[in-house]
Amino acid sequence: MKITEDIHQLKVPMSRNPLGKTYSYLFKNSKTLIDTGVPTEEAYQGLRKELNKHGLQPQDIENIIITHLHNDHIGLVETLQGYGAKVMASTIAAEKQASIRDLSEVFFEQTVAETKLFGGAEYLDLLYKYEFAFRDAPNPITIDRTLSDGETLKLEGIEFEVIYTPGHAQEHIVLHDKADRILFSGDHVLPKITSHVSCHSYEARDPLNEYLTSLDKIKDMDVKHVYPAHEWDFTDLKGRVEQLYKHHGDRLMEMKAPLKDGPKTVYQIGSIVHWDSRPWPEMSFWTKRMAATETYAHLIYLRNKGEIQEETRNNTLYYSLV
């Protein structure tokens, strides 16, 4: 889809994911892409076909800007980098890539400890069965140029303001094309689904607080069009941000409510929430694990605001009203 003479939205298929595709954005003059899609042959061929429509080959891409390090955004980076493209991402992204191997060595042990902490001891047998999957160290990608918050990135025919928007991912950035009043929002703001905001027990962070602060940062921006990495483009940025505030506000109340009956674990609270995807009993352990880290992010937020308290008993966290 043509956005301006220079800017084009490319569809990169992802048929095994319910989202169906990642949008990659092509800037023809500078031969630059924002995000790349998953690391599959299907995605590569899809991207190749989309580039062909513009008289380009994957080998012609000179720059890739990555909004964040999730697989559906960085999947084809290694291939394109092999052809000579330069990769740009936030400073945090570069720091994370540098420590990826050290972290993956302890990933399984951390996941076992976290499952216990969250009150999910009943899932440990299942987790041990899949230990092998945690032992596969991912390949770090090389980031050639780091981008910092507020920086102006000048490429041929286009200029972006880089805005650091941690929350969905700690390293997330969005890109503001001021001249065209366009925001490339990555997964920070999507038109319908709410971005997954999660926290692990071994991270000393408050991702929901980061996320809401990152929404504050963009909500009053003067943009006429938002181009996200999934779903579809939209115009009312402020209206969408208001909906996201409400969603998280409602969810915080929903998670606090069961605590009036006494202390609860992360898994207990997660099992009571009304999830958009499917009801808790129908979720696989892997989906429950994602829901648990999302629950935990909300609990950490409430704890840090002083609205609930946390205590550890027998290696399990319990939350209660103050």
Nearer residue to Zn ion within complex by CB, 123 or 164: 164
The stretch among 54-62, 225-233, 260-268, 306-314 that binds Zn ion (CB under 5 A) is: 225-233
| CA-closest candidate to residue 129, choices 285, 316, 271 | 285
The stretch among 89-97, 154-162, 223-231, 259-267 that binds Zn ion (CB under 5 A) is: 223-231
CB of 27 to Zn ion, least distance (A): 20
Q: Name, in order, each residue with C-beta under 8 angstroms of 161's C-beta and a sequence gap of 6 or more.
A: 150, 151, 152, 153, 175, 176, 178
> How many angstroms separate the CA atoms of 123 and 130, rounded?
11
- Binding-site size for Zn ion (CB under 5 A) equals 3
Nearer residue to Zn ion within complex by CB, 72 or 177: 72
CB of 105 to Zn ion, least distance (A): 26
Whole-angstrom distance between the N-terminal and C-terminal Cα of the chain? 52
CB of 67 to Zn ion, least distance (A): 8
Q: Which of residues 46-85 bind Zn ion (CB under 5 A)?
A: 72
Query: DSSP letter at 101?
Result: H
Nearer residue to Zn ion within complex by CB, 190 or 300: 190
187 binds Zn ion (CB under 5 A): yes
Nearer residue to Zn ion within complex by CB, 187 or 294: 187
Nearer residue to Zn ion within complex by CB, 68 or 176: 68
210 binds Zn ion (CB under 5 A): no
CB of 95 to Zn ion, least distance (A): 21
CB of 241 to Zn ion, least distance (A): 18
Nearer residue to Zn ion within complex by CB, 19 or 253: 19
Indicate the residue type of 285: F
Nearer residue to Zn ion within complex by CB, 50 or 187: 187
Nearer residue to Zn ion within complex by CB, 177 or 187: 187
> How many angstroms separate the CA atoms of 208 and 186, rounded?
17
> How many angstroms separate the CA atoms of 215 and 226, rounded?
14
Q: Name, in order, each residue with C-beta under 8 angstroms of 79's C-beta and a sequence gap of 6 or more.
A: 39, 44, 58
> How many angstroms separate the CA atoms of 195 and 200, rounded?
16
Helix (H, G, I), strand (E, B) or coil at 184: strand
How deeply is 113 buried, as exposed, middle or buried, from its count of CB atoms within 10 A (0-12, 13-18, 19+)? middle
The stretch among 141-149, 182-190, 192-200, 213-221 that binds Zn ion (CB under 5 A) is: 182-190
- In angstroms and rounded to an integer, the radius of gyration of the C-alpha atoms of the chain is 20
Q: Per-residue contact track with Zn ion, 122 to 161, x per CB under 5 A?
A: ----------------------------------------
Residue tagged 């890539």 (tokens): 97
CB of 247 to Zn ion, least distance (A): 18
DSSP alpha helices (H): ranges in the chain? 41-52, 71-74, 77-82, 91-98, 100-105, 107-117, 124-129, 131-134, 207-219, 237-256, 266-270, 285-304
| CA-closest candidate to residue 160, choices 22, 32, 3, 8 | 32
CB of 141 to Zn ion, least distance (A): 16
The stretch among 129-137, 200-208, 228-236, 289-297 that binds Zn ion (CB under 5 A) is: 228-236
The stretch among 113-121, 148-156, 180-188, 243-251 that binds Zn ion (CB under 5 A) is: 180-188
Nearer residue to Zn ion within complex by CB, 176 or 230: 230
Binding site for Zn ion (CB under 5 A): 72, 187, 229
